[in-house]
Amino acid sequence: AEERLRTEGPNELEKPPKPTLLMLFIMQLTGFVIVLLIVAACASIVVNATGPKAGDPLAYTTGIAIFIIVLINAGIAAWTEHKAGDALEALSKMTQASIYVVRDGKEVKVDVPCVVRGDIVVLGTGDVVPADMRMFEADDIKVSEMALTGEPDDVVKTWKIKARKEGEPEKLTPANCVFSGCSVTNGKGKGIVTDIGMQTRIGRIAQLIAGPGGAAKKTCFCLPDTSGSATPLQQNLEKLGGRIGVLAIVVCVAIFIIGVAMDRTDPSNPDSPAWLYMILIAVTLAVAAIPEGIPLCVTISLSIGCSEMVTKNVLVRKLAAVETLGSASVICSDKTGTLTEGKMTMVNMYTGGVGYDVGGKGFDPTVGTISRTKGGQEAGQELSVRTSLLTAILCCNTTLSKVKDPESGEEKWEPKGNSSEAPIVVAARKVGFSENIAQEYPRVLEIPFSSSRKMMLTVSDMGNRNELCPNGYQFPSGTKYLTVCKGAPNFIIEYCSHQLAEDGSMQPMTQADKDKVLEQVDEYSSKA
């Protein structure tokens, strides 16, 4: 895998090259108002250099002052964007997407850019396909291919190879293949990576969109093309600059024509021609008409706003984004991992008609215990708690183990599998169940979760045991298999006829009992 990663490159689409500080500085000089100021400054210097005050240093102060303002403005904007770009690049590396692959016979989590051809990738509901793959295991798996085809309907995938009939057109997305950028909406499966990066379907589409110029389209000045991305403030400044420029030109031309027609000459130098004097007057008026302070004021204001946002842990890549964000009236955000830690934790459970509190946050099972909500006494060894957690474990595909951070070298607890199952696994470890407890009950059947069924089902071999676990529920003699179902409470409860009581007995479940459970579900979900 390391050799292929080195020879074939990372599994990622081509990105525009990061602009250097010099390029960012030059890009700040391309705005219409800035160009207008530069032209006015040059005209002022040229006219004064060729006029009667050519030898006087004070004659060039206006043009030089405008140049200094323009350079300060460009420098502040370029430096702010450069530093924000570095910070965002570091942040993106920290939050890089990852996927499980099989290497050396073990499932390991790797960053998506490190996936190589030949890797066996493990896919589950909610995963985004990291590369183009050919499936060899498919368990009720469906994929959304909207990114490729634009079709909103999920596509059923299979490991079977279907021979194409003569004259039948080749499908854009074969049933036994999944493609980079598509998301798994149902089921699970495994596939072998066939193409990565720009060789994937989505990569080839990106190449077609980019055209001959590649990922980074350039303007005629070899600068990135940023047309079409102007913010409301930039658009208004461009309009203001255009209006002032046109008005200044019209007024200056009119004054020049009128002055020449009236033969106006320089009072301090009557021998100079009228047209030269009127050019000097016209340029002076043009320079005075252009508001050279606006760009600097705007840049300083946005820089202050950017600095304030940094103190609130908000990184801003483009200065103009501060103004754009201020214009937003509604902001939609996925809170998971953005406004939260991205770590689901069990804080309450309800079983046997009793509510329980689960202490500790995060994935460390050595922190926190399970206690009764009313009374607060330790309840980790109660029959209903142990029975509920173990049966839940038998319907999970997630494990919990200690892993070593490759950068810091510190060991930390990390779940492997579905993030919504992780809280169950952590809570089970808190009451003493081992990492491999589920292997003692071999799974003989699994029906994965689907959005239509709203539930997952497993059948496990009881191995001729009558007791589920020490201090657990006692099954009738001769019980061979245990079926466990987990999913949406309002769906599952309709199939329930009995419930586990606090004393460990199995009691009929009435409609009142079902309503009580659903009320508890509503109470817990209102705290989320």
pLDDT score, position 164: 63
CA angle 506, 511, 516 (to 5 degrees): 85
User: Does residue 257 lie in a domain region?
Assistant: yes
pLDDT tier at 204 (50, 70, 90 boundaries)? confident
- Looking at residue 117, the DSSP 8-state letter turns out to be T
Q: What is the pLDDT of residues 487-516, one digit of tens each?
A: 889 889 988 999 988 888 889 999 999 999
Query: How many distinct structural domains can be found in the chain?
Result: 3
The shares of helix, strand and coil residues in the chain, as percent rounded to the nearest 5, are: 40, 20, 40
Same domain as 155, residue 254: no
Q: What is the CATH number of the domain that holds 303?
A: 1.20.1110.10
pLDDT tens, position by position, 116-130: 999 999 988 778 899
Residues 6+ apart with CB under 8 A from 148: 172, 173, 179, 181, 182, 201, 202, 205
Does residue 330 sit within a domain?
no
CA 11 – CA 8 distance, rounded (Å): 9
Tokens linked to 232: 């409301």
Residues 497 and 425 in one domain: yes
Residue 396 sits at φ, ψ, to 5 deg, of -120, 155
Based on the domain organization, do 60 and 124 belong to the same domain? no
Do 2 and 110 meet the contact criterion of CB atoms below 8 Å apart?
no
Please state, in angstroms and rounded to a whole number, the distance separating the CA atoms of residues 101 and 355. Answer: 39
Same domain for 366 and 454, yes or no, is yes
In a domain, residue 294? The reply is yes
Strand partners, 467: 474
**Same structural domain, 164 and 275:** no
Q: Averaged over 468-475, what is the pLDDT?
A: 87
Band of the pLDDT at 134, cuts 50, 70, 90? very high
Residue 175: inside a domain, yes or no? yes
202 and 238 belong to one structural domain: no
The enclosing domain of 418 has a CATH number of 3.40.1110.10
Higher pLDDT, 384 or 263: 384
Residue-wise pLDDT for 310-331, tens only, equals 777 776 766 667 777 777 788 7
8 Å CB contact between 202 and 196: no
| CATH number of domain containing 173 | 2.70.150.10
Q: Could you tell me if 395 and 257 lie in one domain?
A: no
Q: Cα dihedral angle (329, 334, 336, 339), rounded to 10 degrees?
A: -20
368 in a structural domain: yes
Percent of the chain with pLDDT over 90: 17
* 310 and 423, same domain (yes or no): no
Domain assignment of residue 475, yes or no: yes
Residues 471 and 384 both lie in one domain: yes
What pLDDT, in 10s, does the model give residues 415-464? 877 778 889 999 999 999 988 888 899 999 988 877 777 888 999 999 88
Using a 10 angstrom Cβ sphere, with 0-12 exposed, 13-18 middle and 19 or more buried, the burial of residue 115 is: buried
Q: Of 380, 381, 379, 421, whose CA–CA distance to 400 is shortest?
A: 421
Whether 509 and 373 map to the same domain: the answer is yes
| Whether residues 36 and 121 fall in one domain | no
Residue 472 and residue 398 in one domain: yes
Q: Which long-range contacts (CB under 8 A, 24 or more apart) does 50-56 make?
A: 50/276, 51/276, 51/280, 52/266, 52/268, 52/269, 52/272
* Structural domain boundaries enclosing 114: 98-213
Residue 265 lies in a domain: yes
State the pTM of this model. Answer: 0.54
What is the Cα–Cα distance from 431 to 385, expressed in whole angstroms?
9
Whether residue 331 is contained in a domain is answered as no
- Report the 10 Å Cβ neighbour count for 22: 10
